[in-house]
Amino acid sequence: MTKGNINVSVENIFPLIKKFLYSDHEIFLRELISNATDATLKLKHLTNIGESKVEYGNPQIEVKVDKDAKKLHIIDQGLGMTADEVEKYINQVAFSGAEEFLDKYKDAAQDAGIIGHFGLGFYSAFMVADKVEIITKSHKDDPAAHWTCDGSPEYTLEEADKTDRGTEIILHIAEDSTEFLEDSRISELLLKYNKFMPVPIKFGTKTETLPKPEDAKEDDPAPTQEVENIINNPNPAWTKQPADLEEDDYKNFYRELYPMQFEEPLFNIHLNVDYPFNLTGILYFPKMSADMQIQKDKIQLYQNQVFVTDNVEGIVPEFLTMLRGVIDSPDIPLNVSRSYLQADGAVKKISSYITRKVADKLKSLFNNNREDFEAKWDDIKIVIEYGMLSEEKFFEKAEAFALYPTVDGNYYTYEELFNKIKAKQTDKDDKLVILYASDKDAQHSYIEAAKTKGYEVLLLDSPIVSHLIQKLETTKENISFARVDGDHIDNLIKKEDTAISKLSEDEKKSLDELLKEVVPSEKFMIQLEAMDSDASPFMITQPEFMRRMKEMQQTGGGGMFGMGNMPEMYNLVVNTNSELVGEILNTKTRKKQERLINQSLDLARLSQGLLKGEELTNFIKRSYDMIK
Ligand code: ADP
Ligand code: MG
């Protein structure tokens, strides 16, 4: 037996490890299983190239809990280590690696909350164990070795009688870590970190129900048998070639990934690239629900089939973090802070690759089955519109598939819309006016007025639409968006400079004065318009600019501080050519004039849903008086 001192400069770094990595003790299991997997795959390689003469067979990794003896075993059938290799890889490599890790990251890691994304490796065993043993038999002819270390820099190394190839790691679980002696806890960790690792992992047994024999009676219980419990799927869908997968395989994998998710995904995107970086994965577009903010099922990040995190911020463009699925890449640096990640060149490339793939997929879905794409539009528009706003590249690509639905249920691309409306909806200044509504019912009369003119009205109702409109107006030339209830339709799309007015200048002046006296000026701006004589006499509108600013501020538009708190202001458009307005002007008694004005104002408010409470009561009372 040899005794030795592990060559580390810090007298005893174990307490340090414990302290700094306190919150993430659980990663030890992932690390040890990763090592067991590496050892198995290395052996596979050696046997493939003929450098190892052993039979590779069907190796497994086994995890065993021995609650009574307070031990946790991780056993593999990989390439094993000779005594010399234990000296080299465990005493030197693993320990110096851990020391280096501590030096470099102990502060940064804590700050950025990134502990657990590291490969702290074998050393992490000491976070939960006060003594660790390695019993290992190399695939070479050398005798087996037994290494023991109790957490001080001293270790012992002796020969062992293990005859079958591979490594067994035995953790003597420390008093403060007995949770790791519970089957349920180990199960939970295996499912979290190792569900898709490439070597089968066995943990205990499970009961399997067998088919009933032919001659079984009605209420005979179905026979069962105890079988090995393999916790992982070593060949998850994302590691396969897209050509080898059917639509159902993608759906099944979605269920495997999110067992508690019962809604089917809308469609998927298979990521597969090996140059200039390595990345595979499958992303799914879920049905977007109102409570997406608090969604638990997020995109999962793997490295070589080992789960790392479900925080993909910085790696996946923000607008796509609403998607689900997996990304697997060995090229994403994890031992750095999030802000560094965002500045990293390789990561930027990954992010723009993902954006491009998503855009390409959307484009091909649109081209291949437009009807289906239109049917899904409502569920995916948030992601697409958000992407158009936040990623210039995506905005350009989205030109080909972003849809603008009309109140009548037609879906146009921007180009189609443009061609459809440019003849009719271009105003006298050569500006194209795109009309839209946000609520079909509330804005019904305005929509009808626009349709009577032969105009198209879009239905734009997502929460960020005012931002998108702003973006389109600044990107496209000579266009503007106008909500149908923003003004009288003839004012929204102005065709001629002057309309003929029935009233003289003097009459207009006295009408204006009269209205200003009767109508509350803190709520309404009076706007006299010479319009069609059968257009509404009084109409309430809210200026596009003001409404949009308010909306944008509510959904997080910068630089407009205070707008959201501004009092509601409306325009009162008075049609000077209408018969009623003429009558108001010509009525002799002041009292009667006031009644007509108030009644007309209330009718205009009523059609905008603005008449409530006491004012509504007064209106009804006044109306009865008038028909008495
Ligand atoms: P890393 O895995 O990043 O190399 P670790 O600290 O996890 O670092 O492991 C150190 C080394 O110990 C490994 O590179 C490997 O050579 C050896 N090792 C650890 N576990 C095993 C195992 N189960 N079988 C064979 N070798 C192992
Ligand atoms: Mg390792």
**Is the CB of 119 inside a 6 Å radius of any atom of ligand 1?**
yes
pLDDT of residue 117: 47
What domains can be seen in the chain, in order of their start residue?
2-204 (3.30.565.10), 237-373 (3.30.230.80), 403-492 (3.40.50.11260), 505-551+566-627 (1.20.120.790)
Mutation probe of ligand 1 site: the residue of 44, 61, 89, 126 with most atoms within 8 A of C-beta: 89
Q: What region, left, alpha or beta, does residue 52 occupy, with left being phi > 0 and alpha being psi -120 to 50 degrees?
A: beta
Contact 386, 555 (CB under 8 A): no
Rounded CA separation 556/597 (Å): 39
Mean of all residue pLDDT scores within the chain: 87
Q: Average pLDDT, stretch 165-172?
A: 98
User: Given the DSSP bridges, would you call strands 201-209 and 538-541 parallel, antiparallel or unpaired?
Assistant: unpaired
Q: Where residue 16 falls among pLDDT bands split at 50, 70, 90?
A: low
Least confident of 105-114, 124-133, 500-509, 537-546: 105-114
pLDDT of residue 431: 94
Mutation probe of ligand 1 site: the residue of 122, 149, 164, 197 with most atoms within 8 A of C-beta: 122
Which of ligand 1's atoms lies nearest the C-alpha of 74?
23
Q: Average pLDDT, stretch 157-162?
A: 96
The token pair that represents 581 in the structure block: 């307005």
Least confident of 1-5, 103-107, 155-159, 477-481: 103-107
What is the Cα Rg of the chain in Å?
Answer: 36
Q: Where residue 13 falls among pLDDT bands split at 50, 70, 90?
A: low
Segment holding 98, helix H or strand E: helix 95-112
Q: How far is the CA of 34 from the centre of ligand 2 (A)?
A: 6
Segment holding 325, helix H or strand E: strand 324-328
Least confident of 98-102, 223-227, 341-345, 603-607: 98-102
**Is the CB of 121 inside a 6 Å radius of any atom of ligand 1?**
yes
Q: How far is the CA of 170 from the centre of ligand 1 (A)?
A: 15
Angle 611-615-621 (CA atoms, 0-180°, nearest 5)? 110
Nearest CA to ligand 1 atom 11: 89
Nearest CA to ligand 1 atom 12: 89
User: Given the DSSP bridges, would you call strands 61-66 and 201-209 parallel, antiparallel or unpaired?
Assistant: parallel
**In this predicted model, what pLDDT tens digit does every residue of 327-368 receive, in sequence order?**
999 888 765 566 666 777 788 889 999 999 999 999 999 999
Q: How far is the CA of 96 from the centre of ligand 1 (A)?
A: 13
pLDDT of residue 419: 96
pLDDT of residue 507: 92
**Is the CB of 304 inside a 6 Å radius of any atom of ligand 1?**
no
Which residues 6+ apart lie within 8 Å of 78 measured at CB? 36, 37, 38, 39, 40, 41, 42, 43, 59, 165, 166, 167
Q: Where residue 153 falls among pLDDT bands split at 50, 70, 90?
A: confident
Is the pLDDT at 293 greater than 80, yes or no? no
Q: Which residues are 279's β-sheet partners?
A: 273
Which of ligand 1's atoms lies nearest the C-alpha of 121?
7
Q: Average pLDDT, stretch 592-620?
A: 91
Rounded CA separation 475/471 (Å): 6
**Is the CB of 35 inside a 6 Å radius of any atom of ligand 1?**
yes
Nearest ligand to the CA atom of 43: 1
Which residues 6+ apart lie within 8 Å of 552 measured at CB? 466, 467, 470, 560
Is the pLDDT at 93 greater than 80, yes or no? no
**Is the CB of 78 inside a 6 Å radius of any atom of ligand 1?**
yes
Q: Where residue 420 falls among pLDDT bands split at 50, 70, 90?
A: very high
Which of ligand 1's atoms lies nearest the C-alpha of 36?
23
> 560 or 604: whose pLDDT is higher?
604
Amino acid at 396: E
Q: In terms of residues, how long is the chain?
A: 628
Is the pLDDT at 22 greater than 70, yes or no? no
Prediction pTM value? 0.80
Helices (H) and strands (E) in the chain, counts: 19, 22
**In this predicted model, what pLDDT tens digit does every residue of 53-86 receive, in sequence order?**
999 999 999 999 999 999 999 999 999 999 999 9
Is the pLDDT at 160 greater than 90, yes or no? yes
Nearest ligand to the CA atom of 36: 1
Is the pLDDT at 261 greater than 90, yes or no? no
153 prior amide bond cis, ω within 30: no
**In this predicted model, what pLDDT tens digit does every residue of 191-216 receive, in sequence order?**
999 999 999 999 999 998 888 888 88
Mutation probe of ligand 1 site: the residue of 29, 38, 96, 335 with most atoms within 8 A of C-beta: 38
**In this predicted model, what pLDDT tens digit does every residue of 536-587 receive, in sequence order?**
899 998 877 777 877 777 766 544 445 556 667 889 999 999 999 999 999 9
Reduced 3-state DSSP string for 350-401: HHHHHHHHHHHHHHHHHHHCHHHHHHHHHHHHHHHHHHHHHCHHHHHHHCCC
pLDDT of residue 12: 57
Rounded CA separation 628/617 (Å): 17
Which of ligand 1's atoms lies nearest the C-alpha of 166?
24
Rounded CA separation 486/492 (Å): 7
pLDDT of residue 514: 93
The token pair that represents 515 in the structure block: 């209205």
Q: Average pLDDT, stretch 280-287?
A: 94
pLDDT of residue 628: 82
**Is the CB of 167 inside a 6 Å radius of any atom of ligand 1?**
yes
**In this predicted model, what pLDDT tens digit does every residue of 383-395 receive, in sequence order?**
999 999 999 999 9
